[in-house]
Amino acid sequence: MNTIHVTLKQLYTLAHETLMMMGVEPSLAQRGAATLNAADARGVDSHGVARLKFYDKCIDRGEINPNPAIRIIKETPVSAFFDCDNGIGIATADLVMDKAIALAKQSGVGICTAINGHHIGVAGHYALKAAKQDLIGFACAPSRMMVAPTGGKEKMLGNSPNSLAFPAGLTTPPILMDMASTTVPAGKVEMAVRRGEPVPIGWILDKEGNDTTNPADFQNTETGEVPGSLLPMAGAKGYCIIVMIELLSSILSGAKTGPHLATGGGGMGFFAAAIDPEIIRPLAELKKDLDEYYHMIKRSEKRNGVQEIYLPGEIEHNQTIKRMQQGVDLSAVVAGEVLKLHQKYGRLNEEATIEDLFQ
C-alpha cells in the first residue's frame, strides 16, 4: 500500500490531535492544524501533515516552545511588532497575519513583523487569508540555512518563501503567487528522499558545490543534517530575491538569519501585510477588472500541445475544490511517520496500524 485515502477533515483532525500530543497550546494547535490542512488541501503535500515529524524533533530539541508567551512589542494604527517566544511557526505566523488583516480593515493598511518564530509552513496560506476577506495579502519569511549565495558553496541563506494574493473577482478565483525563492522548496527534496527517487539537475548542490541528482546529498532526513544546498531560482536573480526577502522579514525586525538560527529554524522572523483595495478605489470596480484580466489571460493563444493556460494559484485552487470533494491520497510513508508519533505519545500501542490513526 503506497497511499491511504482520507478526507481533508480527517487530516485536520490528525494534525490537531498530533500537535496536542506534542504539547502545543490548544489555540495554537488549532491554528497550526489549519495551516497544515491548507497545504494538504492545495496539493502542497510536503508542507502538510508530512511536517509533523519535523516539528516534533524541533520541540524535542527545545527549538519550539509549545506554550509561548506571545506579545506585541510595539503597535501603531497600521503596524504591530511581535515577539513570538519561539512558538510553533505555523500557528504564530497565522496569528500575526490575522493582526495585519485586522489593522487593514481598520486603517486600510496593516503591516506586521515578528521575531523568535519558526518554520511557517506554506506561505500562501497567510496571503490567501487576506484575499478571502477582500484584501491584498503578502507574507514572507526566511528559513534555516539551505542556500549558498551565487558563486559560493557555503550555506548562508534560507529559501525565502513568499506569497502575494489578490482577492477573487466577481466570478473568478483569487490570484495567488506562492513560492520559495529556490528552484524547489526543501520539502520537495525531502519527499524525493522518502520515495527513494532522484531529483532533476538544477535543484540541489552537494556539499562541495557540485550539481547532483541524489536528494541525500542535500539532506539526511533521519538526522536533519543538511550537507548540500538548494539552488536559487533563475540564478543570480533568485539570489537577489532571497536576500531582499531576508532583509524584509528578518533584518528589519532584528530577527535571526543564517548561522544564527537554530538547526530547524528557531528564532526566525516573519513579515505580513494586508491592504484594503478600497483605499485606492471601489472594491467592485477592482473585482470587475480582475475578472476581465483573468479571462484575457485564459483566452490568449496557446502553444502547440497546451490545453489550458492557468493564472497563478489556479491549479492549487482547483486542487482544493477537488480534494474537498474527493479526499486525499496520503503517502503511506508520511502516515507511518505520524503513526510512530502517536505510538511515542501513547495514543496508540505498538501493534497499531496506519488505519488506526483515523479511527
Question: Residue 177: is it exposed, middle or buried by C-beta count within 10 angstroms (0-12/13-18/19+)?
Answer: middle
The stretches of 117-264 forming alpha helices (DSSP H) are 124-131, 186-195, 236-246
Give the tens place of pLDDT for each residue, 150-191: 888 888 999 999 999 999 999 999 999 999 889 987 878 888
Task: Band the pLDDT of 221: cuts 50, 70, 90.
Answer: low
CA distances from 315 to 163, 171, 282, 307, 338 (A): 15, 16, 28, 13, 28
Q: How far apart are CA 356 and CA 195, in angstroms?
A: 23
Of the candidates 135, 189, 192, 182, the residue with the CA atom closest to the CA atom of residue 162 = 182
Q: Which three cell numbers stand for residue 133?
A: 476577506
46 residue type, one letter: S
Q: Region 293-308: what's the mean pLDDT?
A: 97
How many CB atoms sit inside 10 A of residue 235's CB?
Answer: 11
What is the pLDDT averaged over residues 108-137? 97
Lowest mean pLDDT among 101-105, 231-235, 289-293, 314-318: 231-235
Rounded to an integer, the average pLDDT of 293-312 is: 97
CA 199 to centroid of chain Cα atoms: 21
Question: Could you read off the pLDDT of 34-74 as tens digits, one per residue?
Answer: 999 999 999 999 899 999 999 999 999 999 999 999 999 99
343: exposed, middle or buried (Cβ count in 10 Å: 0-12, 13-18, 19+): middle
**DSSP code per residue over 37-55:** HHHHHHT-GGGTGGGHHHH
Residue-averaged pLDDT of the chain: 94
Mean pLDDT (whole number) for 200-211: 91
Average pLDDT of span 190-200: 86
Positive or negative, the Cα torsion across 99, 102, 106, 109? positive
Indicate whether 148 pLDDT > 90: no
What percentage of the chain's residues is helix, strand, coil (to nearest 5)? Answer: 45, 15, 40
> Biggest alpha carbon distance in the chain?
61
d(CA 304, CA 309): 12
Least confident of 6-15, 76-85, 187-196: 187-196
Structure confidence at residue 106 (pLDDT): 98
CATH code that applies to domain 1-60+331-359: 1.10.1530.10
Reading the block at residue 152, the C-alpha cell is 559560493
Q: What percent of the chain has pLDDT over 70?
A: 99
> Please, how many CA atoms are within 13 Å of residue 107, restricted to the half-sphere of its CB?
15
> CATH 3.30.1370.60 occupies which residues in the chain?
67-182+232-326
Other CB atoms closer than 10 Å to residue 21's CB: what's the count? 17
Cell reading at 114:
515578528
Domain boundaries 67-182+232-326, corresponding CATH code: 3.30.1370.60
Residues of the chain with CATH 1.10.1530.10: 1-60+331-359
